[in-house]
Amino acid sequence: QVQLVESGGGLVQAGDSLRLSCAASGRTASAYTVGWFRQAPGKEREFVASINQYGAAVYGDSVKDRFTAFRVNDENTVTVSLQMSSLKPEDTADYYCAASAAIAPPPTAEITYDYWGQGTQVTVSS
């Protein structure tokens, strides 16, 4: 089992940067791919990024070239950061991290993720 806790959300202005963090803990956490998803009010949950245990990452089209995922593995804890740059009002959403046993390529489908955090809110003002 993997427990996930997000942090780092907040209110920023368009063009600003923000870093989210996801702490994934559990005996096998280091073997899991960690993904980021977001859900804006009234919209479906959207894939943002995922990074596997080897550091391979994939990004959603709407955030490619603006967001970067980093991963640090410790024995029973994985920290995945999502560096978000050039933020836009349309990036406003609740951001969730999740863990998947799928590795290569890092999965983008929500259904492949077994464990989810509670989310952190990001608001980008224009």
Is residue 100 within 8 A of residue 107, CB to CB? The reply is yes
Query: pLDDT of 32-57, one tens digit each?
Result: 999 999 999 999 999 999 999 999 99
Band of the pLDDT at 103, cuts 50, 70, 90? confident
At 67-85, the pLDDT tens digits run 999 999 987 899 999 999 9
Place of tokens 């920290």: 79
Q: Is the dihedral of CA 42, 47, 98, 12 positive or negative?
A: negative
**What are φ and ψ of residue 107, in 5° steps?**
-70, 150
List all residues 6 or more positions away from 41 whose beta carbon is below 8 Å from its beta carbon: none
